[in-house]
Amino acid sequence: MGKRILIIGGVTGGASAAARIRRLDADASITIFERGEHVSFSNCSLPYYLSRTVEEADYLLVMTPEGFRDSYDIEVRTNSEVLAIDRESKKIRVKDKIAGEEYEEAYDELVLSPGAAPIRPRSIEGVFLPHVFTVRNVNDIVNLDQYVREKDRHNVAVIGGGFIGLEVAENLKESGKHVAVVEAADQVMAPFDYDMSQILHKELLDHGVELYLGDGVKAIAEDHVTLVSGRKIPADVVVLAIGVLPETSLAKDAGLELGVTGAIKVSPDFRTSDPHIYAVGDAIEVYNSLTRKPAKLPLAGPAQRQARTAADAICGKGGANKGVIGSCAVRIFGMNAAATGLNEKTAKQNGIPCDYVYTMAMDKVGLMPGSAPAHFKLVFEVPTGRILGAQSIGAGNVDKRIDVIATMIAMNGTLEDLKELELCYSPIFGTARDIVNQAALVALNVLHGVFRQVHVSDVRELVESGAYIVDVRTPEEFAEGHLKGAVNIPLGELRQRVSEIPEDCPVYLHCRTSQRSYNAIMALKGRGYENVYNISGSFLGISFYEYYMDTVTGREKILTDYNFM
């Protein structure tokens, strides 16, 4: 008789661990206990059922209990809630939710993969009303969908602008609903810096999603939501997507150690403080290898890797634990967005000396159908040039470019390495100098002080203080929209008109994407100008940066008009 291995939780981490253990150990007895009705479903695909991108809810199920039994000789008990762990006697107490009975099971090794639960703050009045939903499993999304359809509800308030919130918002919007997103922070999607998030804000607004930033929810009533600011939003359906909290009660009650983040603390091979109990997935505390600090990262990819390492450890094999860097991707209507590693904000919060560049190269050769600019922000360590993180947003392929950066981070790559990467090129797919190479080249210029740059957030102050700003785009582009007070000297005329540019004050340059302004800066430097700055993000970046605030608050504009591609 083999080892008796019990696994609590049958979604990503639990299912992966079970399958891996079976492959390594034909004799083990493996049982998965799942509180919910389903095991091994595609969590990340749940929102896509709302728009019928995923046509049937059943399609969300990756594997059935029968599949586990037949293909893996693994027993799955659904609707089975584990109530307690008795570490001394190595037993768990289980409640069969259908039969209403409780029983015990003994284990040799136990794996905890209980996941994380959506936050439902009791401080919000009305948070338990029947039209308030959270999204965690297949039943949740089916219930939400049924409610919206059967009750013919049209006004949805999504609370929280993270992955789940925005995906739910998109899919309900696509299914014809009126959708408002409420987010307490001043931006959606925390993995992105404030400047980059403005592109997402515009995309949401452009698709008719209402956006309430910097405002929380105070109370939920049957037909509306009241925000902290006092504003009232009509809403007959509310989706809470504020975030998740690791499910730690079972571990805590069993006296297992929790980490500083409140999640379950684990060893390098995902063992808890009890050597016969492992833990993986959203419930555990992970190690961020860039900040070198404990963190929570409820994502499927890391959960799968953790499950594998835990299974290897249970079966007496050494396993890997490289920590996490936090790679993620999301689609918001026509924009794809991805990020990895540290953004400017978190790098600075962690006291890591760093700088960044914000580029907007085309994602494929400009004359090819569907080519579009990819907004790309690259964060690097100073003075080493070591790559710390990147974010990209665009209509085309951005996530796999961020994968290249994630790979560089994992391999301790520097800007020099990145600029030399020999990537695949066809005009159908990219450019001979890819976005990531281009970002590295610009970043090296910043690192080596070849030119200096100002942040897009500083442009308003420059304009208001009457700084000397040169717009080197063509007169036609300038006419379509420009910064108030900017001087238009097209790059092609710069050499003839250089005498117009004062030498005794700072000169700030921009074009549309910083390609022309870079050449202009180098030309001015060659002519002895020392005090020249590139405006990071250039006109396209400025336009995005100002758009949301200008649209929403009606404050005085610093642009005569916006000029998006």
- Residues 339-368 close enough to bind a second copy by CB under 8 A: 339-340, 365, 367-368
How far, in Å, CA of 180 to CA of 139, rounded?
23
Q: Which of residues 53-92 bind a second copy (CB under 8 A)?
A: 53-54, 59-60, 67, 70-73
Does 527 contact a second copy by CB under 8 A? Answer: yes
Q: Which is nearer to a second copy, 151 or 322 (CB)?
A: 322
Q: Are strands 237-240 and 232-234 parallel, antiparallel or unpaired?
A: unpaired
Among 411, 466, 476, 553, binds a second copy (CB under 8 A): 411
Residue 146 C-beta: closest distance to a second copy, Å: 20
Asked whether 69 and 76 are in contact (CB, 8 A), the reply is yes
Q: Which is nearer to a second copy, 402 or 542 (CB)?
A: 402
Does 287 contact a second copy by CB under 8 A? Answer: no
Does 507 contact a second copy by CB under 8 A? Answer: no
Residue 48 C-beta: closest distance to a second copy, Å: 7
Does 136 contact a second copy by CB under 8 A? Answer: no
Question: SS3 string of 376-436?
Answer: EEEEEECCCCEEEEEEEEECCCCHHHHHHHHHHHHCCCEHHHHHHCCCCCCCCCCCCCCHH
How far, in Å, CA of 417 to CA of 443, rounded?
12
Among 101, 150, 152, 420, binds a second copy (CB under 8 A): 420
How far, in Å, CA of 72 to CA of 40, rounded?
14
Residue 425 C-beta: closest distance to a second copy, Å: 5
Among 230, 466, 526, 554, binds a second copy (CB under 8 A): 526
Choose the stretch contacting a second copy; rule: CB under 8 A; options: 196-204, 407-415, 459-467, 476-484. Answer: 407-415
Give the total of residues touching a second copy (CB under 8 A): 89
Q: Which is nearer to a second copy, 237 or 418 (CB)?
A: 418
Residue 119 C-beta: closest distance to a second copy, Å: 22
Q: Which of residues 163-202 bind a second copy (CB under 8 A)?
A: none
Instruction: Please tell me whether the peptide bond between 47 and the residue prior to it is cis, using omega within 30 degrees of 0.
Output: no
Q: Which is nearer to a second copy, 209 or 338 (CB)?
A: 338
Among 101, 422, 476, 556, binds a second copy (CB under 8 A): 422
Q: Which is nearer to a second copy, 160 or 251 (CB)?
A: 160
Provide φ and ψ at 253, rounded to 5°.
-60, -30
Q: Which of residues 315-344 bind a second copy (CB under 8 A)?
A: 320, 322, 324-331, 336, 338-340
Q: Which is nearer to a second copy, 105 or 493 (CB)?
A: 493
Binding characters for a second copy, 446-485, by CB under 8 A (x = yes): ----------------------------------------
Torsion of CA 400, 374, 297, 355, to 10 degrees: 110
How far, in Å, CA of 243 to CA of 120, rounded?
9
Does 525 contact a second copy by CB under 8 A? Answer: yes
Does 22 contact a second copy by CB under 8 A? Answer: yes
Q: Which of residues 428-447 bind a second copy (CB under 8 A)?
A: 428-430, 432-434
Choose the stretch contacting a second copy; rule: CB under 8 A; options: 3-11, 25-33, 174-182, 274-282. Answer: 25-33
Q: Are strands 155-159 and 132-133 parallel, antiparallel or unpaired?
A: unpaired
Q: Which is nearer to a second copy, 141 or 220 (CB)?
A: 141
Asked whether 356 and 379 are in contact (CB, 8 A), the reply is yes
Among 176, 230, 369, 554, binds a second copy (CB under 8 A): 369
Give whole-number Cα distances, 412 to 2, 284, 408, in Å: 42, 26, 6
How far, in Å, CA of 436 to CA of 443, rounded?
10
Does 413 contact a second copy by CB under 8 A? Answer: yes
Does 262 contact a second copy by CB under 8 A? Answer: no
Residue 421 C-beta: closest distance to a second copy, Å: 6
Does 44 contact a second copy by CB under 8 A? Answer: yes
Residue 175: half-sphere exposure toward Cβ, Cα within 13 Å: 24
Residue 216 C-beta: closest distance to a second copy, Å: 27
Question: SS3 string of 156-211?
Answer: EEEECCCHHHHHHHHHHHHCCCEEEEEECCCCCCCCCCHHHHHHHHHHHHHCCCEE
End-to-end CA distance of the chain: 67
One-letter amino acid identity for 137?
N
Q: What is the CA radius of gyration of the chain?
A: 26
Among 186, 334, 426, 503, binds a second copy (CB under 8 A): 426
Give whole-number Cα distances, 363 to 395, 427, 432, in Å: 9, 10, 11
Residue 214 C-beta: closest distance to a second copy, Å: 26
How far, in Å, CA of 465 to CA of 209, rounded?
35
